[in-house]
Amino acid sequence: MSTSFSPIPKPPIDKFEVTPNLNYDTDLDGFDWQTIMDELDWLPGGGLNKAHEAIDRHALNPETANKLAMIWEGKNGEREDYTFADMKEQSDKFANVLKSLGIELGDRVFIFMERVPELYFAFFGILKAGAVAGPLFSAFGPDPVKDRMEDAGAKILVTQPDLRRKVTEIIPHLPELQHIIVVNKDNRDPEPLDAQDLSYEVEMAKASAEFQITNTSQNDYSIMHYTSGTTGKPKGAIHRHHAVIQQYSTGKWALDFHPDDLYWCTADPGWVTGTSYGMIAPWTNGVTQLIYEGGFRASYWYELIQKYKVTVWYTAPTAIRMLMKAGDELPKKYDFSSLRFAASVGEPLNPEAVVWGKDVLGHVFHDNWWQTETGAILCANYASSEIRPGSMGRPIPGVELAILDEDFKPVGPGQDGNLAVRPGWPSMFQHYWQKTDMYNSRFKRGWYITGDTANVDKDGYFWFVGRADDVINTAGHLVGPFEVESALIEHEAVAEAGVIGKPDPIAMELVKAFVSLKEGFEPSEKLRRDIMRFVRSKMAAAVAPREIEFIDSLPKTRSGKIMRRLLKARELGLPEGDTSTLEDD
């Protein structure tokens, strides 16, 4: 919790170019979620739908209908602009397509796409139709797509030709899947369709541009994101339309959205940040968003900020560390004067990175904390308050965070423990899809246990310490070691595998696998590379092992469980025999 960096005080409020939406130190007395609920529009019958709050309410208001909602830049430099009225029209059409295919309230519709505008139209069309959107990371290989869609019983998949081809082999294993809708953006693909698929363009051309949003209640499910744990396959954390209350309000408080902002969120919609803060939060606040289809390139990211005059930027620590690595000379070539607020999430943000932001971009990065299950930011450094570099800030209004000991009782300032949240925050997940026991196991003595360890200082700032489980955080992606081990042992040469997170200066952790081979196979560089390629093609390069080490046998508990913590202790060179905290059953 201690840091050698001094707190960065904020100037008085009247020195800001815009007044921050929340003055954390004075505005919290008498806070009531009802005030926020009253700022939303709600459906005519009193229901709630995220698509109405994010899109239609602005499209139906003559003052904002023609305001730009999305500025899209494709990976080949193409540009398309969409107003809120355009977004309404396209998502209404897609909702009609879904209805014509028999989609009903609560059906799961999955999206497996690059960041093209049609992803966003489909997403809001799904919500309008009353279905549940399941966005998938486009870099996934066939295994993660199959695991998620099979578990969720997805009825429709919306995808693109190259991604469709990538998952061909899994389609026969998805008995509940009824249709595949293929978006052939700008006719990029000469052979887009398999005979059984539907063309997005053909279906949209037939669809009416008027749709009456399904009268969802605030408790109806809206979005599911799969997240990894220590054991088993990923679990589908499912959220209600009710979550919009907190996604909207944290957009105002933690990202300090103002109506004239040009906002850029670098997260992919396959992960929760890309939906909560890449769609719902900015658009419920009526903000114009830049969506960039391409990947990371330091010089081009700087250019995007300059070119589009980005005012609010939400990115991730790994990206910031990669920018730092690209050197301090490069950013001097760009003009960042438009930038007003920068924030970061997903991994610990080292104090050096916070301060680097101030030196190089003219803005510190405001770290904030949350997770898939929380649905929205729960802890943040605010525009109005002092920043403590290395801290993830203070709880958002209306949310109680605590540090608990092993008996789930609160501990005092400065002591490490389990980071926990008092249940009942508006964007709280409602379930792990069809895994009730696992969902219930996250709640103890009246608290939701986050799985992170942290501490809190005497002024109420929270400091991240680590994960309480074996889950690996590589470049902001949570990776369950079990998933990677399962993929590894499908390789013909692999007898057993144990997977850990190995510390890395840029990505925080790299996935490292220890592998023992079957009789008849010998360790070699060629085999190592072959196993790596095998896992990468099944899963995704981003979450596959970067390192594989062959060992004769893996350390196990008496009941045969692989002792990942012992592997990690050895990797880190911890003293021999330091196994007192290792699991043993």
Q: Is the separation of the CB atoms in 317 and 349 below 8 Å?
A: yes
Q: How is residue 9 written in tokens?
A: 């005080």
We find the least distance from the C-beta atom of residue 36 to ligand AMP, in angstroms, to be: 23
We find the least distance from the C-beta atom of residue 228 to ligand AMP, in angstroms, to be: 8
Distance CA 197, CA 183 (A): 10
Nearer to ligand AMP, 128 or 477 (CB): 477
Specify the residue for token string 């002024």: 459
Nearer to ligand AMP, 44 or 503 (CB): 503
> SS3 helix, strand, coil % of the chain, rounded to 5?
30, 25, 45
Using alpha carbons, select from 288, 290, 282 the residue that is nearest to residue 247.
282
Distance CA 367, CA 351 (A): 10
Going by the DSSP 8-state scheme, the letter that residue 117 receives in this structure is H
β partners of residue 132: 108
Residues making up the chain, counted from first to last: 585
Nearer to ligand AMP, 141 or 393 (CB): 393
We find the least distance from the C-beta atom of residue 349 to ligand AMP, in angstroms, to be: 6
Nearer to ligand AMP, 444 or 467 (CB): 467
For every residue of 13-50, DSSP letters joined together read GGGSSS--S--TTTS-TT--HHHHHHHS---TTS---H
Distance of CA 59 to the CA centre of its chain: 27
We find the least distance from the C-beta atom of residue 347 to ligand AMP, in angstroms, to be: 5
We find the least distance from the C-beta atom of residue 464 to ligand AMP, in angstroms, to be: 4
Nearer to ligand AMP, 369 or 448 (CB): 369
We find the least distance from the C-beta atom of residue 307 to ligand AMP, in angstroms, to be: 28
We find the least distance from the C-beta atom of residue 169 to ligand AMP, in angstroms, to be: 27
We find the least distance from the C-beta atom of residue 219 to ligand AMP, in angstroms, to be: 22
Q: Which amino acid is at 387?
A: I
Nearer to ligand AMP, 220 or 452 (CB): 452
Using alpha carbons, select from 107, 96, 113 the residue that is nearest to residue 189.
113
Distance CA 277, CA 539 (A): 25
We find the least distance from the C-beta atom of residue 110 to ligand AMP, in angstroms, to be: 18
We find the least distance from the C-beta atom of residue 301 to ligand AMP, in angstroms, to be: 20
In 3-state terms, what secondary structure has residue 514?
strand
Nearer to ligand AMP, 311 or 450 (CB): 450
β partners of residue 393: 462
Element (H, E) at 401: strand 401-404
β partners of residue 421: 401, 448
Nearer to ligand AMP, 269 or 555 (CB): 269
We find the least distance from the C-beta atom of residue 577 to ligand AMP, in angstroms, to be: 29
Q: How is residue 441 written in tokens?
A: 């196991």
Q: What is the dihedral of CA 241, 242, 248, 250, to 10 degrees?
A: -130
Using alpha carbons, select from 451, 546, 566, 437 the residue that is nearest to residue 498.
566
Nearer to ligand AMP, 364 or 548 (CB): 364
We find the least distance from the C-beta atom of residue 253 to ligand AMP, in angstroms, to be: 16
CB-CB neighbours of 409 under 10 Å: 11
We find the least distance from the C-beta atom of residue 156 to ligand AMP, in angstroms, to be: 25
User: What are the start-end ranges of the H helices in 255-385?
Assistant: 272-275, 281-284, 298-308, 317-325, 351-360
Specify the residue for token string 């390069």: 541
Q: Is the separation of the CB atoms in 200 and 98 below 8 Å?
A: no
Nearer to ligand AMP, 24 or 137 (CB): 137
Distance CA 10, CA 88 (A): 39
Q: What is the dihedral of CA 86, 91, 97, 99, to 10 degrees?
A: -140
Burial of 437 (0-12, 13-18, 19+ CB in 10 A): exposed
The binding site for ligand AMP (CB under 6 A) comprises 227, 272, 345-348, 367-369, 371-372, 392, 450-452, 464, 467, 473, 478
Determine phi and psi for 139, rounding to 5 degrees.
Answer: -85, -5
Q: How is residue 293 written in tokens?
A: 């289809």
Nearer to ligand AMP, 177 or 353 (CB): 353
Nearer to ligand AMP, 211 or 341 (CB): 341
Burial of 358 (0-12, 13-18, 19+ CB in 10 A): middle
We find the least distance from the C-beta atom of residue 352 to ligand AMP, in angstroms, to be: 15
